Amino acid sequence: MGSGKTTVGKKLASLLKLSFIDLDAYIEGKHRKKISEIFAEKGEDEFRKIERRALIDVSQIENAIISTGGGAPCFFDNMSLMNESGVTVYIEADPEELAARLMASKTVRPLIAGKSKDELIPFITKHLADRERYYRNAKIIYHTERMISKEDVYLTVNGIAEQLNKYLPESFQK
């Protein structure tokens, strides 16, 4: 949460002239409900099953950048599915930076709703510790520091694009 997956994913898709799919938006469109509503009505276990089915669906789509929620790689064999389907990227950021971004975000995130910044940093630190073993299986790990301005996003996108070049067919390389 808050690493810039959607922002970087959209810009990267534009740079590489690929489609962009946000998995959460895909789920919301298919179920005609916000992720927060699905969580509230069905709970996390059922949401993760819905997310898994959606991930299987979108993994069939070629020539697309797909942004998943932060928990998606950590359930079932989702990370293996993603690695088999394409090039995975982990945008790594420090807990303090993620907390600052999340506090500034207007997006409703069920797992952190109502938390103060003082509560958020330990929460993020614990979640990263729990999830790191999944995230570290990404084919590309890109650490970003203080990605705040449009220029920072541009540099991050270009940095990831440069690393992606070794995985993509020549027709996509920039």
| Choice between 154 and 141, residue whose per-residue pLDDT is larger | 141
Binding residue per annotation — 49? Answer: no
Distance of CA 91 to the CA centre of its chain: 8
Residue 144: pLDDT band with limits 50, 70, 90: confident
Q: What pTM was computed for the model? A: 0.82
> Percent of the chain, pLDDT > 90?
48
Question: Which pLDDT tens digit goes with each residue over 103-130?
Answer: 887 676 767 878 888 899 999 999 999 9
Q: In Å, how far are 12, 20, 68, 80, 163 from 55, measured between CA atoms?
A: 20, 14, 8, 12, 24
**Torsion-angle region of residue 43: left (phi > 0), alpha (psi -120 to 50) or beta?**
left
Binding residue per annotation — 130? Answer: no
Q: Are 89 and 140 in contact (CB under 8 A)?
A: yes
Q: What is the reported pLDDT for 104?
A: 80
How many angstroms separate the CA atoms of 94 and 88, rounded? Answer: 19
Q: Specify the residue for token string 């650490």.
A: 143
Binding residue per annotation — 24? Answer: yes
Binding residue per annotation — 68? Answer: no
Binding residue per annotation — 88? Answer: no
Beta strands in 38-136 (DSSP E): 64-67, 89-92
* Residue extents of the structural domains in the chain: 5-164
Question: Which pLDDT tens digit goes with each residue over 22-66?
Answer: 999 999 999 999 998 998 999 999 999 999 999 999 999 999 999
Binding residue per annotation — 29? Answer: no
Binding residue per annotation — 131? Answer: yes
Binding residue per annotation — 53? Answer: no
Binding residue per annotation — 69? Answer: no
Q: Which CATH architecture has domain 5-164?
A: 3-Layer(aba) Sandwich (3.40)
How many angstroms separate the CA atoms of 171 and 168, rounded? Answer: 8
